[in-house]
C-alpha cells in the first residue's frame, strides 16, 4: 500500500514513467499527450516500422503532427521500442491494443491477453496498469485481474488496476484528445484515485466511476447508442427508398425540431473500430447471461445489410439506362470508413467493392487518403480523379465524403452519380444526374 501511495506522489510530480502499449490511433495520441504534460513516456509497439518512425520523429497518424512527435523526441520525453522488457521500468502502463471480432463475431482478446501476459511477467510492486481497449463489462475483473494476481502480487495493495475507455474520434477537429472527458474505474478506490491522477494533467475533465465494470459499460453504452440510432436512420433510408422519398430531406427537416430529436445519418454501412464492434461485445456478454439484446441485434442486422443494399441500388441505377452491372465501369469515390482519414477498419467500401466485383463490374476507386485497397484476392490502386476518368465511368459511387473532393466537378463530368453520403447536397448544376441512398 505504501508503494502505491508513493506512486501517487510520483505521478503528481511528473516523475512517474508512463508506458503505452500499442501506438495506433489511440495509443500514439495518448503517448504524445502524456509527453506534452511533462511525463517521460515509453511507447511499446510490435510493428518495428512504427517504432522506428517514432524514433525518427515521424508520425504515421494523421491526427498527430510530425512536429509534435519531433518536439517530444527532442525533449527526451518520448521513446518507442519493440522491447517488452522495458515494461519493468514503467510506473504506469496503459494498454491500447486492438480488440477486434473473430470471423464468428466473437470477441478476440488475443492482443489484450498477450499484452497483459507481457505485463504479468514483469509486474512489480508500485505499478499501475490501465486497460483502455474496448471490451465487455467484467473483462478487467474476471479475466485480467486473476492473470495479474497470478504473479503473487495483490491488487490495491501491491499494484493498481483500472479501466479507462478510449474516446478517440479520428479527424475530429472540434474535440481534441484533452477536450473529451476521461472516464476511469478501478478495482479498488485507490486504483481509481491513482488512475484519475494520471489522466488529470492530460484531460480537462476526469470522470471517476465506481468500478472497472462500470467504466467498461460506459464505453459500450456510448457506441451502442450510436449504432442503434444509425440503424434507425438506415431503416428510414430503406423505407424512403420504397416510398420514393428523399431521406436526406426528411432527416434535415426533422432536425429543425429544437427538442426531442437528435440527428443521425444513414450511409452505406458502419465502419471504424468502435461502432460496428462494441455493441457486439455487449450482446455477446448478455447471451452468456441468457439475456437477448434485441435492440442491438436488430440494429446490427440493418446496418450490416446496407452494403448489399448499395450494390443492389447500383444495379437498379444502371438498369435504368439498360446497362448491366457485368462489364460496367464503376468508380468508387472514397474507401476509408469516414471522411478525411486513412483508416480502413471495417470500412463498408470493402463489402461494396466485393459485391460489385462478384457481379463482374470493372471497378476502380479514388481516395486521397488510401493509396491501396485490398478486396479479397484483388489489390486496387487509387486512381487519379481526372475529368476523363469521371466521364468514362458508367457510374460514380460516393462511398466516403472526403472534403478534398470537388463534388460539383464530379457531377458535372460523370454520366451518373450515386451518392450514399449526401455529399452532393450543395451541388447546383446537373443535379438530375444524381441518385441518392
CA distance 303 to 275: 10
Name the DSSP class of 360: T
Q: Is 201 exposed, middle or buried (0-12, 13-18, 19+ CB in 10 A)?
A: middle
Looking only at the bridges linking them, the beta strands covering 182-186 and 160-163 are: antiparallel
Reduced to 3 states, what is the DSSP secondary structure of residue 383?
coil
Smallest Cα–Cα separation from 31: which of 76, 77, 67, 97?
77
CA distance 40 to 59: 18
Return the residue matching grid coordinates 486512381. 383
Reduced to 3 states, what is the DSSP secondary structure of residue 24?
coil
Range list of H helices, 166-305: 189-199, 212-243, 247-254, 278-288, 294-304
Smallest Cα–Cα separation from 272: which of 207, 222, 316, 223?
223
**CA dist 389 → 397, 415, 432 (Å):** 13, 11, 20
Range list of H helices, 331-406: 348-358, 387-392
The edge-to-edge listing of strands for the beta sheet with 128-131 is 78-81, 40-44, 17-21, 92-95, 128-131, 160-163, 182-186, 206-208
Q: Residue length, the chain?
A: 437
Identify the active-site residue in 90, 191, 240, 274: 274
Whether 274 is catalytic is: yes
432: Cβ contacts below 8 Å, ≥ 6 apart: none
Reduced to 3 states, what is the DSSP secondary structure of residue 136?
coil
**Contact (Cβ atoms closer than 8 angstroms) between residue 306 and residue 254:** no
The catalytic residues are 274
Amino acid at each position: 500500500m505504501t508503494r502505491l501511495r508513493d506512486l501517487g506522489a510520483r505521478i503528481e510530480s511528473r516523475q512517474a514513467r508512463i508506458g503505452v502499449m500499442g501506438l495506433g490511433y489511440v495509443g500514439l495520441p495518448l503517448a504524445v499527450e502524456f509527453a506534452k504534460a511533462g511525463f517521460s513516456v515509453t511507447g511499446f509497439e510490435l510493428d518495428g516500422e512504427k517504432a522506428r518512425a517514432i524514433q525518427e520523429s515521424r508520425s504515421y497518424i494523421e491526427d498527430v503532427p510530425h512536429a509534435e512527435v519531433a518536439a517530444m523526441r527532442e525533449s527526451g520525453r518520448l521513446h518507442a521500442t519493440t522491447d517488452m522488457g522495458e515494461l519493468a521500468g514503467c510506473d504506469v502502463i496503459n494498454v491500447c491494443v486492438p480488440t477486434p471480432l473473430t470471423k464468428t463475431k466473437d470477441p478476440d482478446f488475443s492482443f489484450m491477453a498477450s499484452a497483459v501476459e507481457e505485463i504479468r511477467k514483469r509486474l512489480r510492486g508500485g505499478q499501475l496498469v490501465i486497460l483502455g481497449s474496448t471490451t465487455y463489462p467484467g473483462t478487467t475483473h474476471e479475466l485480467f485481474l486473476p492473470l495479474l494476481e497470478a504473479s503473487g502480487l495483490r491488487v490495491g495493495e501491491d499494484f493498481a488496476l483500472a479501466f479507462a475507455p478510449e474516446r478517440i474520434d479520428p479527424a475530429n477537429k472540434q474535440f481534441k484528445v484533452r477536450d473529451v472527458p476521461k472516464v476511469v474505474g478501478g478495482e479498488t478506490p485507490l486504483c481509481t484515485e491513482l488512475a484519475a491522477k494520471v489522466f488529470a494533467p492530460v484531460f480537462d475533465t476526469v470522470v471517476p466511476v465506481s468500478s472497472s465494470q462500470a467504466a467498461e459499460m460506459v464505453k459500450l453504452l456510448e457506441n451502442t447508442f450510436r449504432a442503434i440510432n444509425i440503424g434507425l436512420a438506415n431503416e428510414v433510408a430503406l423505407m424512403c427508398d420504397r416510398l420514393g422519398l428523399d431521406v436526406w430531406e426528411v432527416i434535415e427537416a426533422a432536425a429543425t425540431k429544437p427538442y426531442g430529436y437528435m440527428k443521425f445519418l444513414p450511409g452505406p454501412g458502419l465502419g471504424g473500430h468502435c461502432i460496428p464492434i462494441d455493441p457486439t461485445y455487449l450482446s455477446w456478454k448478455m447471451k452468456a447471461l441468457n439475456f437477448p439484446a434485441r435492440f442491438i441485434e436488430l440494429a446490427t442486422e440493418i446496418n450490416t445489410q446496407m452494403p448489399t443494399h448499395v450494390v443492389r441500388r447500383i444495379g437498379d441505377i444502371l438498369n435504368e439506362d439498360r446497362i448491366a452491372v457485368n462489364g460496367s465501369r464503376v468508380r468508387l469515390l472514397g474507401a476509408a470508413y469516414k471522411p478525411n482519414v486513412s483508416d480502413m477498419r471495417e470500412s463498408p467500401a470493402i463489402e461494396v467493392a466485393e459485391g460489385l466485383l462478384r457481379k463482374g463490374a470493372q471497378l476502380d476507386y479514388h481516395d486521397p487518403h488510401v493509396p491501396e485497397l485490398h478486396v479479397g484476392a484483388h489489390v486496387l490502386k487509387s486512381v487519379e480523379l481526372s475529368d476523363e476518368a469521371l466521364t468514362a465511368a458508367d457510374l460514380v459511387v460516393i462511398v466516403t465524403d472526403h472534403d478534398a473532393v470537388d463534388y460539383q466537378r464530379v457531377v458535372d463530368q460523370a454520366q451518373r452519380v450515386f451518392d450514399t453520403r449526401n455529399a452532393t447536397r450543395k451541388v447546383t448544376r446537373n443535379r438530375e444526374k444524381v441518385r441518392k441512398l
